[in-house]
Structure 1
Amino acid sequence: MNLIRGLHNLKPQQGTVVTIGNFDGVHTGHQKIITRLIEKSKALGIPSVLISFLPTPQSFFNHPQASLNSFKEKHHLLSKLGLDIHLIIHFNQAFSQLEAVDFVQKILLDKLAMKHCLIGDDFRFGKDRVGDFELLQRLSKTNNFSVENTPSVLCDNHRVSSSNIRTYLNQGKLHLATQMLGREFSITGKIIHGLKNGRKIGFPTINLPIKRKISPIHGIFAVTVEIEGKTHQGVCNIGNRPIIGGKKTLLEVFLFDFNRTIYGLQAKTTFKHKIRDEANFDDFETLKQQIKHDVNAAKNYFTNQSQC
């Protein structure tokens, strides 16, 4: 998949099939749209193009929300689906004022030579979000392209959406988030140095930065961590570490039966089961006792899973 950062890097196209959106989480609804996009692309013999925005319109207009994946994670997920082009449009003040009809003409038609457009049923675009499926239909009649609307995907009679997945993760309902994502929720990043407080109380942790402004998941979890192709079990805290007055969200994992120096390596943390919410403690000794309980709870979870 060819990643194009910005319209100024886009070379003239001779015809494309296009879909547009944030695609946060690349969930089963997104996957359905992309699968259909690629089918249409192959049928017409022209490239498939997925357009997303950086920053997201929500962030630009100061309505930030938790992200289900970092940009790097999203691009990795998209690259596995068979797309030809991932076009990133930089969402800035000038772009936010672009009228919907101008977005279609100046970008989709003039730059991408779009022949077919496929969007989700809730997609809106252009200044004041006035662009929608009906506008695309109307414009298609005089501009030699077709448009296709993809209905929502349902999971247990609930609409598959990024917002519903965020809600499930926030509530610790990992099995419901997994069903909508089509995979278990995970966070990937490079292991960094921490404050070494865990080591002082007998629970050394690996630390990963959260590459997003707001994390969709908080608390104490039983997790698996993949490092250099090997999977390890552990207990994870993802939060602000109130005992030290932390402000920044950090992911910390105590791995069972593990004693290696692995700073700088890539680690994928997969969330298996929520144990409890993050809490404050009066001192590190009290925290140490609670971590012992958390470790036992996580180990019991993995033991029960292996017996199923």
Structure 2
Amino acid sequence: MKIFSDWRDLPAEGRGATIALGNFDGVHLGHAAVLRAAHAARPDAPRAVLTFEPHPREFFRPQDPPFRLTLSTERAAALAGLGVQYLYELPFNDAFSHLTAEAFVSDILHRGLGAAHLVCGADFAFGHRRGGDVAFLAARAEALGMGLTIVPQVADGEGPISSSRIRRLIQDGYPERAAALLGRPHSIRGPVTHGDKRGRTIGFPTANIPLGRHLEPQRGVYAVSARIAGAAVKGVANIGQRPTVGGAESRLEAHFFDFAGDLYGQELTVCLHHFLREEQKFPSFEALKAQIEADSATARALLDRDEKHAKPEQP
């Protein structure tokens, strides 16, 4: 997948695509439906996504707690996995926030990107003060010779599938239900940093990953997995402030089973599969060690069960 951060002076091969529009936070099943519609509308054209970095909400409300399901690298990987060939990740800054809806369509989509076809959800809004909606987009796209497909919101028995709904599930400690809407486990990606190294003193060395701009999940212990040096590994992780050792900021601490190696400085993606229990403070390191042993056994059993019942990959 090719990634472009500007709509100006694009090479010829970066133009003429079918472009799906939106924030695509999480890249969930609703987003996948938009991308399928993009391919169906113009199977002869490259599939592309136009999105923004940072997320507009981060720009307008920087004081809000982190809420992102996927940061730039994770989002790009998920989109590539769905067959996206071009990603237009445009910088969302003060100048861009004042761009009119007309300029967004005519200057960026039409002249800049040379869009052959546009695809979006029914609630897509754009331009300064969200001045453009799908009715405006339809009229301008037709006038400029661009096709447009508006995709109805995907829903299940509990309602529309949305990034907001998935955020609530993650914050409430339901990673399995979030995964069902995402089409894959929710993950947290970040650099492995140095911690206080207490885990190794009780036989459970951990990889410490700051949550950064990620949404903070329900604090507690999870069964997790990761890929390290191309190999799948299973583990158990705590997300929270580590009250037993007097921690002050939330982070993810993962212990991987049957793994020994130096991960410091590496970018690691940790997938959350099952919520085991809430975070708690223990009276001693001995009590903490005993609980980690119990959590590890539970996590192993759950992850082994998942592996046994996983659908075989299609050839």
Q: TM-score range by the shorter chain?
A: 0.7 to 0.9
Rate the CA distance shift 1:262–1:55 in 2: closer, same or farther, 3 A: closer
* Amino acid in structure 2 at the alignment position of 1:126: G
- Match of 2:43, SS state, is helix
- Match of 1:42, SS state, is coil
Contact 1:222 / 1:298 at 8 angstroms: preserved in 2?
A: yes
In the other structure, the counterpart of 1:230 is: 231
* Superposition deviation, residue 68 in structure 1: 1.4
Confirm or deny that 1:61 pairs with 2:60.
yes
The superposition leaves residues 233-254 of structure 1 with CA deviations (integer Å, 9 ceiling, x where unpaired) of 3210122323444344322112
Confirm or deny that 1:215 pairs with 2:216.
yes
The superposition leaves residues 30-66 of structure 1 with CA deviations (integer Å, 9 ceiling, x where unpaired) of 11111221333434xx433311111111000114542
* Amino acid in structure 2 at the alignment position of 1:7: W
Rate the CA distance shift 1:144–1:225 in 2: closer, same or farther, 3 A: closer
- Match of 1:175, SS state, is helix
* Superposition deviation, residue 94 in structure 1: 1.3
Separation in 1, partners of 2:24, 2:248: 28
In the other structure, the counterpart of 2:74 is: 73
Confirm or deny that 1:200 pairs with 2:201.
yes
In the other structure, the counterpart of 2:169 is: 168
- Match of 2:112, SS state, is coil
The superposition leaves residues 150-205 of structure 1 with CA deviations (integer Å, 9 ceiling, x where unpaired) of 01112234211111111111222222111111112223444333220212333221
- Match of 2:239, SS state, is strand
* Superposition deviation, residue 95 in structure 1: 1.1
Structure 1 length as normaliser, TM-score?
0.88
Contact 1:227 / 1:266 at 8 angstroms: preserved in 2?
A: no
Contact 2:41 / 2:149 at 8 angstroms: preserved in 1?
A: no
Separation in 1, partners of 2:7, 2:179: 34
In the other structure, the counterpart of 2:4 is: 4
* Superposition deviation, residue 259 in structure 1: 3.3
Q: What's the % identity of the aligned pairs? A: 35
- Match of 2:24, SS state, is coil
- Number of equivalences: 306
Separation in 1, partners of 2:9, 2:237: 41
* Amino acid in structure 1 at the alignment position of 2:135: E
After superposition, where does 1:1-308 map in structure 2 within 5 Å? 1-8=1-8, 10-11=10-11, 15-43=16-44, 46-62=45-61, 63=64, 65-281=66-282, 283-302=284-303
Moved more, 199-208 or 158-167: 199-208
Separation in 1, partners of 2:140, 2:8: 25
Rate the CA distance shift 1:25–1:245 in 2: closer, same or farther, 3 A: same
Moved more, 251-260 or 18-27: 251-260
- Match of 1:192, SS state, is coil
- Unmatched 5+ stretches in structure 1: none
Separation in 1, partners of 2:89, 2:65: 19
Contact 2:122 / 2:134 at 8 angstroms: preserved in 1?
A: yes
Separation in 2, partners of 1:244, 1:217: 19
Separation in 2, partners of 1:20, 1:101: 15
Separation in 2, partners of 1:285, 1:8: 61
* Superposition deviation, residue 136 in structure 1: 0.9
- Match of 2:4, SS state, is strand
Separation in 2, partners of 1:295, 1:54: 37
* Superposition deviation, residue 302 in structure 1: 4.3
Separation in 2, partners of 1:261, 1:105: 51
Rate the CA distance shift 1:292–1:16 in 2: closer, same or farther, 3 A: closer
Contact 1:228 / 1:266 at 8 angstroms: preserved in 2?
A: no
* Superposition deviation, residue 303 in structure 1: 6.0
* Superposition deviation, residue 28 in structure 1: 1.0
* Superposition deviation, residue 119 in structure 1: 0.3
Rate the CA distance shift 1:146–1:300 in 2: closer, same or farther, 3 A: closer
Rate the CA distance shift 1:97–1:307 in 2: closer, same or farther, 3 A: closer
- Unmatched 5+ stretches in structure 2: 310-315
- Match of 2:224, SS state, is strand
Moved more, 23-32 or 4-13: 4-13
Separation in 2, partners of 1:307, 1:182: 19
- Match of 1:110, SS state, is helix
Moved more, 250-259 or 155-164: 250-259
Rate the CA distance shift 1:235–1:106 in 2: closer, same or farther, 3 A: same
Rate the CA distance shift 1:203–1:139 in 2: closer, same or farther, 3 A: same
Contact 1:3 / 1:87 at 8 angstroms: preserved in 2?
A: yes
Instruction: Report the RMSD for the aligned CA atoms in angstroms.
Output: 2.6
Separation in 1, partners of 2:114, 2:80: 23
Structure 2 length as normaliser, TM-score?
0.86
